[in-house]
Amino acid sequence: MGKIKLPSINQLRRRADKVEKVARTHRRRFFRTQTAGEARVVRSAVVVWFLVIVGLLGAVIAGKILTDYTITTTAGVPGGSYVEGIVGEISSFNPILAETEDEKAVSSLMYSSLLKTDRTNTLAGDLASSWTVSGDGLVYTVKIREDAKWQGGDTTITADDVLFTINLIKDPLLKSPLADTWRSIRAEKVDGSTLTFSLRTPVQTFPWALTFGVLPKAELQDIKVEDLREYLSEHNITGSGPFAYRSSSATAAGSKILLFAPNSAYYGGKPQIDSLHITTYEDIGSMVNGFRNGEINVATGINVDVAQHMASETHITPIFGEVMALFNLDSPVLSDVQLRRALRLGIDRDFVRSSVAIDGRLPNPAETPLAANTTIDYLVQPAVNPDEADKLLSQLGYVWSKDLNRTKDGVPLRLNIATVEGSDYEIVAKNLADQWRRLGIEADVTLSAKENIQENVIIPRNYDVLVYQLQLGGDGDVYAYWHSSGAKSGGLNLSAYKSPVADLSLTRARTQLDMGARETSFRTFVTAWLEDAPAIALYQANLYYLRGDEVRAWGGQTLIDKSVRFRNVGDFTAKTTIVNKTP
């Protein structure tokens, strides 16, 4: 191998000088010293680019959040089973014999009516394709839709079926709860699909009477009327509603399960759910356990006590009913209007409402005896005023005794407050009693079982104050509750209220077809009612229920009452899926 020739010292110096010269050139070209102005420009550019990069990152993150939480949602889809629990028995599916709200609700699954209520709580056609009224309000003409078929799809529903059903309702041997409504109305067939209904006097609310379920004439016409009630209770009668009855079974715990399947011949289209089950329970506790155990996915009609303990799972639907403290004007102590006014002034109604609140959600206030959809503006009950109540009581001669109770001529001022044991009204009754005791009134709460209160308390008017709910219906007619004709034992005027002004106004409101004139009559009635103080309107009633997350039913709607909760059953769903929302 040959020797390696090393560079000399001078050669190394020349190479180093050359490298240094190149480096100086690069420094001057790329790293020259900036002026102060040039430095500010650079810093500004850096800040701008930094903000742009941060904005882009924020947009990416926001887009991810929107994708995960906004563009997708849970929606109901066809299929599955709606399984509802109720408390109490279903004694009859039959629409002209059903008495309880649950029996009426179940019958509406199977039997169509001429008219029904829609989501806005107004009347809409069901079997009826059209209905008109004569100028004098005395004759209504109804035409039946052509595509209405009985279950099975082979037989058309006709005017003969409707007439047959009405005649059954009127027959005293059958004792239908609808009989009083139809006793004075003449129904006639015009042709196979058209009927007329003739009234003796105009009744503005008559169309609401056309919500009864229609029965098949061909199937029932040969059965004697005296045998019909038993036959209707024991046999599965052909219907025309969205569902058909399939079977019933009993559980080891004593519950009864009713199974319904979609009616393939239903003119309204196939429901979204595959089946509907109604499971009966003896009490609310058993029903709640059934919900927790997955036996049912809806528990309807829980009380406030359960709702307060299960607040996060409780759903609330307002209904057209009012919870009231009804004064018995036939009671000697409450015959004095000034005393009734004092009692009303002594009650903080917001405090009453708070006693039945569910996780801070108070029931809607009530001011008049009319339903929420017919409330008259500016007419309200006086606000709570204990000082004024105390003054009125003193003026009436009720003085404070040494034991801090009020007496008059040595007789204590005492009230018997009656209500249903174990109900929401029990909470309210005790709240009222506490508030009246602060005024020196001896207030006793008497509780009666639900099945006994009619016979033992309400019919004999065995109370000074009755805490109870009045079902106000969708027609706005409160005649039965406040007209003097209903004040007798067995009537629905539970306050025994008698007022010529109220009687005349309620009668006119019933017969006036002009809505403006009807409102004027209602205003006159409410003014008299507030002046006479036959009751205290406490709050609008609610329907409390539990439902599984997968169920979509009547939630968010106001119902006339619990019996119409299946009015849009075709839209119910019992299964859900994740879907994209339209941006």
CATH of the domain at 210: 3.90.76.10
Q: Find the mean pLDDT for residues 192-221.
A: 95
Helix H, strand E, coil C: the string for 208-251 is HHHHCECCCHHHHCCCCHHHHHHHHHHCCCCCCCCEEEEEEEEC
Q: Are the beta carbons of 552 and 76 closer than 8 angstroms? A: yes
Residue 14: what pLDDT? Answer: 60
Least confident of 1-15, 510-524, 541-555: 1-15
Partners of 249 in the β-ladder:
257
Hey, how many other C-beta atoms are within 10 angstroms of the C-beta on 161? 23
Q: Would you state the structure tokens that stand for residue 308, as one six-digit string? A: 């307060």
Count of residues in the chain:
583
In a domain, 32, yes or no: no
Q: What are phi and psi of 303, to 5 degrees?
A: -95, 175
List strand residue ranges (DSSP E) for 78-175, in order: 81-87, 115-117, 123-125, 128-133, 139-144
Residues with Cβ < 8 Å from 318, sequence gap 6 or more?
Answer: 363, 364, 372, 540, 541, 542, 543, 558, 559
Q: Is the pLDDT of residue 47 over 60?
A: no
* 3-state SS, residue 6: coil
C-alpha to C-alpha distance for 220 and 306, rounded to whole angstroms: 44
Q: Find the mean pLDDT for residues 43-51.
A: 57
Nearest Cα neighbor of 128 from 110, 147, 143 is 143
* pTM (predicted TM-score): 0.83
C-alpha to C-alpha distance for 507 and 517, rounded to whole angstroms: 12
Residue 254: what pLDDT? Answer: 85
Residue 326: what pLDDT? Answer: 98
Q: Would you state the structure tokens that stand for residue 455, as one six-digit string? A: 């016979």
* 3-state SS, residue 420: strand
* 3-state SS, residue 3: coil
The count of domains in the chain is: 2
In a domain, 506, yes or no: yes
Q: Is the pLDDT of residue 208 over 80?
A: yes
- 220 with 341, same domain: the answer is no
Q: In what order do the strands lie in the sheet with 194-198?
A: 128-133, 139-144, 194-198, 186-191
**83-139: pLDDT as tens digits:** 999 999 998 889 999 999 999 999 999 999 999 999 889 999 999 999 999 999 999
Domain boundary among 168, 198, 231: 231
For residue 497, what is the domain's CATH number?
3.10.105.10
Residue 276: what pLDDT? Answer: 98
Helix (H) or strand (E) holding 276: strand 275-281
Q: Find the mean pLDDT for residues 521-538.
A: 97
Confidence of residue 22 (pLDDT cuts 50, 70, 90): very low
- 362 with 215, same domain: the answer is no
Residue 8: what pLDDT? Answer: 54
- 323 with 426, same domain: the answer is yes
Domain boundary among 190, 206, 231: 231
Partners of 447 in the β-ladder:
419
- 379 with 485, same domain: the answer is yes
Hey, how many other C-beta atoms are within 10 angstroms of the C-beta on 27? 11
Q: Is the pLDDT of residue 1 over 50?
A: no
**444-454: pLDDT as tens digits:** 999 999 889 99
Within 224-372, where are the H helices? 225-234, 284-292, 304-309, 337-345, 349-355
In a domain, 263, yes or no: no
- 338 with 212, same domain: the answer is no
C-alpha to C-alpha distance for 513 and 534, rounded to whole angstroms: 28
In a domain, 63, yes or no: no
In which region does residue 323 sit, left (phi positive, over 0), alpha (psi from -120 to 50) or beta (all else)?
Answer: beta
In a domain, 66, yes or no: no
* 3-state SS, residue 467: strand
Helix (H) or strand (E) holding 65: helix 36-69
Q: Are the beta carbons of 300 and 566 closer than 8 angstroms? A: no
Q: Would you state the structure tokens that stand for residue 286, as one six-digit string? A: 């058993």
In a domain, 27, yes or no: no
Least confident of 122-131, 141-150, 553-562, 570-579: 553-562
Confidence of residue 582 (pLDDT cuts 50, 70, 90): low
Domain residues for the domain of 189 are: 113-231
Nearest Cα neighbor of 115 from 126, 106, 104 is 126
Residue 373: what pLDDT? Answer: 67
C-alpha to C-alpha distance for 385 and 342, rounded to whole angstroms: 9
- What contacts 24+ positions apart, CB below 8 Å, involve 448-452? 448/418, 448/419, 448/420, 448/421, 449/420, 449/421, 450/420, 450/421, 450/422, 450/423
In a domain, 393, yes or no: yes
Within 457-536, where are the H helices? 479-482, 500-511, 515-532
Nearest Cα neighbor of 338 from 391, 375, 294 is 391
Angle between helices 515-532 and 500-511 (to 10 degrees): 160
Q: Find the mean pLDDT for residues 170-198.
A: 95
Angle CA(411)–CA(349)–CA(362) in degrees, nearest 5? Answer: 145
C-alpha to C-alpha distance for 229 and 396, rounded to whole angstroms: 55
Partners of 418 in the β-ladder:
446, 466
Q: In what order do the strands lie in the sheet with 275-281?
A: 243-250, 256-262, 275-281, 81-87, 298-300, 535-547, 314-327, 465-471, 414-420, 442-448
Place of tokens 């609401």: 208
**241-288: pLDDT as tens digits:** 999 999 999 988 889 999 999 999 999 999 999 999 999 999 999 999
Q: Find the mean pLDDT for residues 194-208.
A: 95
C-alpha to C-alpha distance for 65 and 82, rounded to whole angstroms: 34
Residue 67: what pLDDT? Answer: 55
Q: What are phi and psi of 454, to 5 degrees?
A: -60, -50
Q: Is the pLDDT of residue 13 over 80?
A: no
- 207 with 356, same domain: the answer is no
Q: Is the pLDDT of residue 23 over 50?
A: no
In a domain, 485, yes or no: yes
Domain boundary among 180, 207, 231: 231
Confidence of residue 42 (pLDDT cuts 50, 70, 90): very low
Q: Would you state the structure tokens that stand for residue 341, as one six-digit string? A: 């006014």
Q: Find the mean pLDDT for residues 72-89.
A: 91
Residue type, 272: Q
Q: Would you state the structure tokens that stand for residue 184, as one six-digit string? A: 């004075």
